[in-house]
């Protein structure tokens, strides 16, 4: 079989599966518990957070673990919109986002937010000029998937542009 669906789900590397298996069997305490077993899990969690932060060149307190993509999308979209509402209620996304983003945006619309859906070309790509024109003084969030989970299109996130 030749697998062409890596943008939706990528097979985990054997070392990832081995580590998951090892940790699940040996360090399964609740990291919020005060006993030694919990502390062991807490320390491993914090070590992982630091390792991921170092790889991404960010601070450890900028790394959050969620149960998956849907929870992460909901949390970031609604959390940002609500936290920044004093600066404005305009959000920008694209017409081809995952339902976890699209449905969150639609819920926010019902709460009085204004959402701009950027159009895409026949390869699913947005135009940076469209994005530039859509940004307003009251825009608080631009949420665009870097790589489309169904067709694999990479958005021009590296394209240099002066705003």
Residues of this chain that bind ligand PLP (CB under 6 A):
8, 68-70, 73, 98, 100, 145, 149
Least distance (Å) between residue 99 CB and ligand PLP: 8
Least distance (Å) between residue 98 CB and ligand PLP: 4
Nearer to ligand PLP, 8 or 58 (CB): 8
- The candidate with the shortest Cα–Cα distance to 9, out of 149, 108, 135, 128, is 149
- The candidate with the shortest Cα–Cα distance to 69, out of 26, 23, 100, is 100
- Give the nearest residue (CB) to ligand PLP: 69
Nearer to ligand PLP, 8 or 157 (CB): 8
Nearer to ligand PLP, 73 or 131 (CB): 73
CA distances from 46 to 16, 59, 142 (A): 18, 12, 29
Least distance (Å) between residue 135 CB and ligand PLP: 22
């Amino acid at each position: 079989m030749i697998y062409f669906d890596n943008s939706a789900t990528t097979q985990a590397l054997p070392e990832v599966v081995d580590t998951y298996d090892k940790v699940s069997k040996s360090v399964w305490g609740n990291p919020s518990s005060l006993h030694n077993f919990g502390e062991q899990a807490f320390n491993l969690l914090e070590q992982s957070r630091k390792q991921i932060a170092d790889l991404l060149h960010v601070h450890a307190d900028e790394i959050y673990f969620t149960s998956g993509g849907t929870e992460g999308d909901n949390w970031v979209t609604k959390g940002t919109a609500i936290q920044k509402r004093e600066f404005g209620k305009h959000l920008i996304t694209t017409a081809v986002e995952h339902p976890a983003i699209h449905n969150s945006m639609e819920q926010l619309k019902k709460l009085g937010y204004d959402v701009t859906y950027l159009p895409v070309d026949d390869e699913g790509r947005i135009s940076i000029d469209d994005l530039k024109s859509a940004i307003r003084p009251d825009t608080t969030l631009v949420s665009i998937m870097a790589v489309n989970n169904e067709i694999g299109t990479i958005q021009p996130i590296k394209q240099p542009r002066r705003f």
